Chains A and B, each alone.
Chain A
Amino acid sequence: MKFISIYFVLLVSLSVSAQTNDNDSTSLLVNDSLTIKIAPPTSVIVEDYKYDDADNLQLHWVPSIDDMPQDGKVVRYRIYQSTNNGSFVLVDSVNFSVNMKKIEGLAIDSTYQFMVSAVSKNYEAKSNKTITIQTEREWINFNLASLFLIALLITSAVIYFIETARRGKELFVRKIAGLEAVDEAIGRATEMGRPILFIPGIHDMDDVQTLAAITILGKVARQVADYDTKIRMPVARSLVMTAARETIKTAYQTAGRPDAYNDDMVNYITDEQFGYVAAVDGIMVREKPATIFLLGAFFAESLILAETGNSVGAIQIAGTARPAQLPFFIAACDFTLIGEELFAASAYLSGEPKMLGSLKGQDVGKAIAMGVIIVGVISITLGEAYGIEFFSNITSSIQSFFTVNK
């Protein structure tokens, strides 16, 4: 019995010992399997980023051979940068399967070196260092070559038409309904003895719509000066006030009535959108202008202004290039200049060769656009319907020409 007990104790001891050894070996095996060793990315190449202001570099690499999406071993790549031969610091990381990165925000007078590492859950394999490189500045961006060619074509057309107009040839511009009404609207204000209100929108002089409005103001002010009608122009931007005063003053001088000009014709209200609207609405109901021009860049205030103008019985001529505000002007105003009509208006009203030539040149651009669209649509439709690669390639070529990569 005693031997049996000793044998049993030995057996249990051996068993426990064996178990412990088994556990130890399992532990080692588990640690080994947790470390997901991976190969580093190779052929890491850094080169200058083309057509920039010397502030970018382009980094490429061949992904790690363990970068298989189905395995999920490589989770990301880390990018290390050394500046002016300093130590490498982590600057960015990208997801697995990615093999390039644009390095931004660099300086032209520094040198750079890079290293890319593949990262698994618990392992990082670093590549070799790249060559040392400096950024370069290019003076011409050839990515914009197609833009340059088309701009050159349209500009040539503009110059041609300007010269044609200067030689005295009459350039035809179709009638624009809203502009035909300008004379009538100013005449109406003169007959009624009430002022004309000119609202140039709420944007500054850095908006082409405001520029167009100021150009039209020149023509309106000239007629106002001739008819001795009162004009009132509240503005929301100080620069617009300065430009408008200059424009009206010039118009009065051209009309031979500089003494009739007064700086108070144009007055600044506030930059605040709805503060400006509240003031203009007040002016409308108190002064009851016979004619209101709403030309320029308008936003949420468009309907408020147009509706108030309508309620005081004024004849309203509006124009903006903002599609979201045009519906309100169309609903509440007598005449509306839609989009480009606003820009065409200045040329139409002035009759100056420069402006007319510019308008005709833009028409050349539109004709080109129409022709190209029609050719492109027919080609791609025939190409896809009958499987003719030649036709599909025509459209692809045109599309790539018109797609500008900055």
Chain B
Amino acid sequence: MELFGIWVAALLTLGIFSFLYKDNPVYKICESIFIGVSAGYWAIANFFDALHKKFWVGVFPTDGSDPNYMLWFGALLGVLMLLRLSSKIGWIARWPLAFIVGATAGLYMMLYFVSNAMNQVASTMRDVIVTSPETHLIMWGETIGSILIVIGVVSGLVYFFFSKEHKGVFGYTARVGIWFLMITFGAHFGYTVMSRMSLLIGRIDFLFRDWLHLLN
């Protein structure tokens, strides 16, 4: 059975890789299997994780704990969502959607504001001339690092300021900001490509070691 699994995985891997040449029937078969299996998997996983484990067990507990009646509200929203199948009262399905969108926006607004704005502001306020506590000499590495952080944050904010045209000093500052962003993206790019290479190596290792036994 394990051997059968390895052969299936290897053939599906090669089928997906065949897309690198061009779209072909083998890729289409692999794609359909992938989509079908994953859609089926998620349907069952959602049924047991959400409907059974969260809702059913929550409202009809068997371990002696109190039922969580709030879950009925979630169930009601779910039923309202299904009303879109009706042409007459399908408009009611907008209510649960509006609830989800509104609740999400409200919940995340403060969360993001704290982590992405307030904490960033507090952390950026730093001494840009860093000296050694013992010798009182300037520590050039830390000093340059602090200056870069402050310039990067301020110029980045200027770039994302939408109420003023990027002209003159403001425009030059915004350009400095975009340079900082691009250098950051470049570093991210290199880092991520390296991690993707390790994924590719993992797949090739599977093909040559587990399937073809060409590697020990």
Where the two chains meet, the residues of A that have a C-beta atom closer than 8 Å to any C-beta of B are: 146-147, 150-151, 171-174, 176, 205-208, 211, 239, 242-243, 246, 269-272, 274-276, 278-279, 281-282, 285-286, 300, 303, 323-324, 326-328, 330-331, 338-341, 344, 348, 359-360, 363, 365-367, 369-370, 372-374, 376-377, 380-381, 384-385, 395, 398-399, 402-404, 406
Contact = CB atoms under 8 A, between A and B. Distances in A.
B145 interface: no
Given A173-B162, A324-B192, A272 B42 contact: yes
Given A275-B39, A285-B23, A340-B160, A327 B189 contact: yes
Interface in B143-161: 150, 153-154, 157-158, 160-161
Interface in B110-138: 110, 112-114, 117-122, 124-129, 131
B18 to A, nearest CB: 12
A271 B40 CA distance: 10
Interface string B152-177: 01100110111111100000000000
Given A363-B162, A370-B158, A206 B31 contact: no
Interface stretch (B2-10, B56-64, B180-188): B180-188
Contact of A147 (B27, B34, B110, B166): B110
B88 to A, nearest CB: 16
A385 B143 CA distance: 13
B35 A286 contact: no
Q: Which 5 A-B pairs have the closest CB atoms?
A: A272-B38, A376-B125, A275-B38, A327-B189, A327-B185
A174 B41 CA distance: 46
Given A326-B185, A330-B185, A278 B16 contact: yes
- Secondary structure of the B side of the interface? helix
A274 B160 contact: no
A406 B196 CA distance: 38
Chain B: interface residue count, which band?
Answer: 35 or more
Contact of A381 (B101, B127, B158): B127
Contacts of A242: 81, 84, 93, 97
B155 to A, nearest CB: 10
B35 A278 contact: yes
A402 B121 CA distance: 7
A331 B127 contact: no
B38 A404 contact: no
A384 B126 CA distance: 10
Nearest to B84: A242
A205 B162 contact: no
Nearest to B31: A278
A377 B160 contact: no
Contact of A402 (B39, B122, B182): B122
B189 A363 contact: no
Contacts of B214: none
